[in-house]
Amino acid sequence: MSKDAPILGVHVSISGSIDLAVDRAQALGCNTFQIFTRNPQGWKYGKLADESVDLFRSKMKNSGIKLAVSHMPYLPNLASPDDEIFRKSVDALAEEIRRAELLGLAYVILHLGSHMGKGIDYGQKRVADAISKTHKNSAVTVLLENMAGQKNAVGAALHDIRKIIEHTGMEKGIGVCLDTCHAFAAGYDIASEQGLESFFNEFEREIGSKKLMVIHLNDSKGPLGSHLDRHENIGKGLIGKKGFKLFLARKEVRRLPMILETPVKDEKEYIQDMKTVISLY
């Protein structure tokens, strides 16, 4: 990619050894990428081998890739009212931050979970408490990912995310990862020029654009306001090529890292989505 190209990458596998993620990202032409540092569907995990960590850091240094980020596993629920699940979720976040530090990653991206019927205010405070318990002046920045607005979900509305940040009391070390599919599904019309203007004005008012640090670039299978978390390939969903062309022209996002999480059977299929994004950028 040229120096004027977007900071664009995909979610890659760590299968075999975590350092192989760097090789996979390079093979796809990425200049950023995202990983799970462990099994995303389970609570158990193995220790990161010192050799693999050293190789990961060495490969990153020599790769020309600008940065890599980690994504929390799916099972933890940082908003859970169940004390045992909450404790395990806090432990999982603390471990993810530790692993990110070992690997030299800048960001850990969090799904904010479900309040399970206890109410949005309860969920906001629960998530904030989890982050406050685990961050402890880490060099890693935790990024709150906006949700699609499923039942009992925490973090679909921008003012909801603002409240979580406020409850942590953290001025540094916390930010936002904006998922385009989730925003659209939550009811933000980011596919139109007027809707985008309204969305980014609200983002600036509620959170501040400096807190926006990573983009999850996904089209949406569900319609506007559907609350369906169903990703689609870029330009093939209901945001569409026109919507992404408008989105990618926004000054708030043009120089941010953008990660594709579009549906693919093989990582090589990401190449077409990357070409589409570059053509619209």
| Predicted local confidence at residue 41, as pLDDT | 84
Task: State the Cα–Cα distance between residues 221 and 61, nearest whole angstrom.
Answer: 37
2 has a pLDDT exceeding 60: no
The chain-wide mean pLDDT, for the chain, equals 96
End-to-end distance of the chain based on CA atoms, in angstroms? 13
pLDDT digits over 63-99, tens only? 989 899 999 999 999 999 999 999 999 999 999 999 9
37 has a pLDDT exceeding 80: yes
Matching residue, tokens 């060099």: 139
Architecture of the domain whose range is 8-280: Alpha-Beta Barrel (3.20)
Task: State the Cα–Cα distance between residues 69 and 11, nearest whole angstrom.
Answer: 9
Q: Do residues 57 and 22 touch, judged by C-beta distance below 8 A?
A: no
| Predicted local confidence at residue 40, as pLDDT | 87
| Predicted local confidence at residue 272, as pLDDT | 97
Place 10 in a pLDDT band, splitting at 50, 70 and 90. very high
Query: Per-domain residue ranges for the chain?
Result: 8-280
CA distances 236 to 96, 182, 232, Å, are 33, 16, 6
For 104, what's the count of Cα atoms within 13 Å in the CB-facing half-sphere?
16
Q: What is the mean pLDDT of residues 34-58?
A: 93
**Which residues are bridge partners to 153 per DSSP?**
114
Task: State the Cα–Cα distance between residues 156 and 135, nearest whole angstrom.
Answer: 23
Among candidates 90, 182, 160, which has minimal Cα distance to 129? 90
